[in-house]
Structure 1
Amino acid sequence: MFRSTRGNSTKGFISACAMAIALAGGAAVATGAAPATVQAQDYSDAFIDAYQPVADVVNAEGGDVASVVPQLDTIVSLAQNADEKYAAGNLILIAGNKTGEQPMQRRGLEIMLESGKVPVENVAQFQWFVGNIAFNEGDYMASRAALSAAVASGWNQDDPVGLIAETYWQSDDAVGGLAYLQEQIPGVLAAGGQVDSNWILRGLVTAYDAENFDASVDATAMLVKANPVQQSWLNGLQVVNALGEFEGDVRIDLLRLMRLTDTMTQSQEFIRYIAAADPRVYSNEISGVLARGLADGHFETDDPYYQEVKSTVDRAMAGDRAEAPSLVSEAEADANGESAMIAGNVLMTLEDWSGAEAMFAMAAEKGGVDTNLATLRTGMMQVHQGKVAEAQQTLAGVTGERAAIARLWSTYAEVNGG
């Protein structure tokens, strides 16, 4: 019990001095019976004089709470010790519950937490409610701080990771949100939890809206690792392809990954693929692209564009196959890597993954070529062969504008095993 210089001044005070709270509808806090955990100590007469009449109104059935709200600031200013602060905060919370004003509820909860008198087993829950109310108010930094404190205090209900991530998305901070998820996901998995791919999908949408290419690559890699299905690849690679400002000879290796993951769904993607690959050089590969585009309804057999490309590849396919062995011999004899790149490209279009890998690796070793391109395609050929560890090591060496594409190929190797 609390001690005062006046013996009868405690009536009504204790009845308002605690609560049981539950969240409903996002952040509506409801009060219940006063628990026995409140340990009141010394309350000043000034505090009691200000508190008591307000508490009587707040606790009264049908009391005119709105009429005493202006007096709450005075009560807070008179609260000098922990018990007084706890009581003041609790009174504000109850008043907020009765008026339905979330800012008042939040203030009451925060004052109670600041008092240090909230029972340890309730601290995480109080912080969780503060975070929810702050979120509803659009105060996302404060929400994140409170929700993170709740998690640190042991709160693991109601998807705290997803809600904290949402504080970043609502602030249009794709980079910060993805970094947060990247940090949290290992712990979630280690604790036996599941990663909700919708967390990451929201990050991907935020990255797209912000036209943040790097964040879209991060989100795609995280998304397919969390949920390695075709839809994840579709969602991610469509955004990466839309945001990436690539020249054709760079984009083609992204489109090759899209073809491998069956995520080419637009006619323009098939046309871009054909233009970037050049049907005269990659005839066998483009023949497959044409066939898929025709089957999916992106081309018509009487379309002049389709007929022209198909005529080109039909004339070149047999010649490419016949010429491949001599190209390899020429590459082996050449002092630099240019001939090896040519041979590697032809073998790649023939789906001779092992032979193409050897040629691209030779090109990188001999030099005189774009080393990042040669290294990227060496890794791609290793991916096709299921050489996961080797592919990831190779692709990690790609820098510059091709690095993002290399990372996505490496992610494919990780989740698909080739």
Structure 2
Amino acid sequence: MFNRFRSMPATAIAAVLGCALMTTATPAAAQKKPKKEEAAKGQALKPSKGFGPALKKLTEATGAKDAAALQAALGEAQASATSADDNYLVAFYQLQLGILNKDTAMQGQGLDGMIESGLTPPENVATYNFYSGNFAYGAKNYAKAIQRLEAAKAAGSTESALPAILMDSYLNAGQIDKGWAMAKAGIESARAAGTKPSEELYVRPAQAFQKANRTEEMLDVLTMRVEDYPSPATWRNTLYILLQQSGGDKELNFDILRLMRATNAMTERPEYLEYVSLAVEAGYPGEAVAVIKQGQNSGVIPKGDTHFGNILEAQTPRAATDAAAVAADAGKPATLNNPKAARSTGDVLVGIGQPAKAIPLYEAAVRGAPTDAVAQFRLGVAQALAGQGDAAVASFAKVQGNRARLAKLWTVRAKAAAPAAS
């Protein structure tokens, strides 16, 4: 009966997360600091006497920006280098050759030689390690990137790209927990400063958790993501994955689709097909009609769509009859004293856009059946839709079982929709 829209294989879920790939720093950004800082360092170096002729050629070739001459001079310099200072200068001019040729591997080699010489001035250690680590990251040498970037961090680097590159290096090296710890620290720091965290701090760890089949942790990350990026597309991507994990539970799928609707995240025709099919099967004609009309108003469902047109024709008169019956039953003691009847009546009221009237019914259902996790969950939904954010958050906090994850997501929505404190 259902037209599923969740045909994507599990291995492709990461693609749904949608985020541009991180880029390494451009070579041009790596040029100025090492080159400028080395000028001051040069006065303190004492090259060996035999290294003098090669050093003169290195200096002249660099000044002339003659890459071929610099390459030839480097060969001579490497052969004549006998001291630590000589080797430091060889590494420095390797960096210059890498700059001239836009060769990041050569630049990294030069920086490594300077770092490993032990002659790097303390004030330059952070800069050299950062760029060395950045080049290693670009070459996918994540172990080296971690080593260099951690050294840059320890030396007090203030490069804004460092946390994200180091985080991603840990993730790509298989150290997911370390990478996520760094991401969380970055998220908390940004939030504390009143700024929005980079979306990559969520997307990259989520992808790593998904690849490692650590679904609950992936969903923890995505739940945090919608707090800072509550766009319909982000909500849809997150709830899409949750639908993948539902195990075919129709009632749970229905609740997930309700949140998708509440966050304006229904953007494709198949989603409406499944939602409407579930509503009709559950006996909620009013909700089926409302969902179809929403799809038509949003332009997702063409007004001339025969399939949905037939459903509207069949369900509209039923919806009117159902609404009248529910209005008559909602306040009756017989309904309120019967947990099952109270819950089902509340479900209909929420579906036809009257969540405030559903609240006392769900409250009655919870009192009469304290272990009814669905009633507890849907009480929170009704409160959230009625604008009672604080009450909804409190209700969702009590939800356990297979709706606990969905309750956390509804909590995000409830908090976002709540009026700001005056």
The verdict on a shared fold, with TM-score over 0.5 as the criterion, is: yes
Equivalent of 2:337 in 333, 339, 364: 333
Query: Secondary structure of 2:414's partner?
Result: helix
1:126 and 1:192 map into 2 onto residues whose CA distance is 31
2:135 match: 133
2:75 match: 67
**TM-score computed with the length of structure 2 as normaliser:** 0.73
1:414 and 1:340 map into 2 onto residues whose CA distance is 27
- The 8 Å contact of residues 87 and 117 in structure 2, kept in 1 or not, is answered as no
Quote the RMSD (CA, aligned, Å). 4.0
- Per-residue displacement from partner, 1:286-328 (whole Å, max 9, x unpaired)? 2110112233242555624541454134224333432345355
Query: Secondary structure of 2:416's partner?
Result: helix
Within-5 A mapping of 1:286-297: 286-295=288-297, 296-297=299-300
| Closer, same or farther: CA 171–25 of 1 in aligned 2, 3 Å | farther
Query: Secondary structure of 1:35's partner?
Result: helix
2:394 match: 393
- Per-residue displacement from partner, 1:303-359 (whole Å, max 9, x unpaired)? 24541454134224333432345355234323xx33332232123223332342333
Give the drift of 1:219: 4.4
| Closer, same or farther: CA 189–88 of 1 in aligned 2, 3 Å | farther
2:144 and 2:401 map into 1 onto residues whose CA distance is 38
1:380 and 1:95 map into 2 onto residues whose CA distance is 64
1:183 and 1:209 map into 2 onto residues whose CA distance is 22
Does 2:131 match 1:123?
A: no
Equivalent of 2:187 in 175, 185, 188: 185
More helix by share: 2
- The 8 Å contact of residues 252 and 273 in structure 1, kept in 2 or not, is answered as yes
Q: Residue 379 of structure 2 aligns to which amino acid in structure 1?
A: T
The alignment covers a number of residue pairs equal to: 381
2:107 and 2:174 map into 1 onto residues whose CA distance is 27
Task: Kindly name which structure, 1 or 2, has the bigger radius of gyration based on alpha carbons.
Answer: 1
Q: Residue 336 of structure 2 aligns to which amino acid in structure 1?
A: E
2:278 match: 276
**TM-score computed with the length of structure 1 as normaliser:** 0.74
Give the drift of 1:149: 4.2
2:73 and 2:52 map into 1 onto residues whose CA distance is 13
Q: Residue 75 of structure 2 aligns to which amino acid in structure 1?
A: S
Give the drift of 1:410: 1.0
| Closer, same or farther: CA 173–263 of 1 in aligned 2, 3 Å | farther
- The 8 Å contact of residues 381 and 392 in structure 2, kept in 1 or not, is answered as yes
1:4 match: none
Query: Secondary structure of 1:414's partner?
Result: helix
| Closer, same or farther: CA 345–193 of 1 in aligned 2, 3 Å | closer
Higher relative contact order (CA 8 A, sep 6+): 2
2:352 match: 350
| Closer, same or farther: CA 414–33 of 1 in aligned 2, 3 Å | closer
Q: Residue 35 of structure 1 aligns to which amino acid in structure 2?
A: A
- The 8 Å contact of residues 26 and 132 in structure 1, kept in 2 or not, is answered as no
- The 8 Å contact of residues 133 and 149 in structure 2, kept in 1 or not, is answered as yes
2:17 match: none
- The 8 Å contact of residues 324 and 343 in structure 1, kept in 2 or not, is answered as no
| Closer, same or farther: CA 192–332 of 1 in aligned 2, 3 Å | closer
2:155 and 2:377 map into 1 onto residues whose CA distance is 45
Q: Residue 415 of structure 1 aligns to which amino acid in structure 2?
A: A
1:251 and 1:306 map into 2 onto residues whose CA distance is 24
Query: Secondary structure of 2:379's partner?
Result: helix
Unaligned runs of 5+ in 2: 1-24, 62-68
- Per-residue displacement from partner, 1:258-301 (whole Å, max 9, x unpaired)? 11121111111011112223356222222110112233242555
Within-5 A mapping of 1:299-314: 300-301=303-304, 303-304=306-307, 306-308=309-311, 310-314=313-317
Query: Secondary structure of 2:40's partner?
Result: coil
Within-5 A mapping of 1:371-410: 371=373, 373-410=374-411
| Closer, same or farther: CA 272–177 of 1 in aligned 2, 3 Å | farther
| Closer, same or farther: CA 393–68 of 1 in aligned 2, 3 Å | farther
Q: Residue 92 of structure 1 aligns to which amino acid in structure 2?
A: A
Within-5 A mapping of 1:15-414: 24-25=27-28, 31-32=35-36, 34-37=38-41, 48=48, 55=55, 58-59=58-59, 61=61, 62-63=69-70, 64-65=72-73, 67-68=75-76, 84=84, 88-99=87-98, 100=101, 101-114=103-116, 117-167=119-169, 179-191=181-193, 193-197=195-199, 199-201=201-203, 213-214=215-216, 217-241=219-243, 245-278=247-280, 281-295=283-297, 296-298=299-301, 300-301=303-304, 303-304=306-307, 306-308=309-311, 310-326=313-329, 329-334=333-338, 337-367=339-369, 370-371=372-373, 373-414=374-415
Give the drift of 1:367: 2.8
2:150 and 2:324 map into 1 onto residues whose CA distance is 60
2:185 and 2:341 map into 1 onto residues whose CA distance is 45
Give the drift of 1:138: 0.8
- Per-residue displacement from partner, 1:78-102 (whole Å, max 9, x unpaired)? 87xxxx3x76345324224315554
- The 8 Å contact of residues 37 and 124 in structure 2, kept in 1 or not, is answered as no
Unaligned runs of 5+ in 1: 1-21
Query: Secondary structure of 2:265's partner?
Result: coil
Q: In percent, how many aligned pairs have the same letter?
A: 23
| Closer, same or farther: CA 38–160 of 1 in aligned 2, 3 Å | same
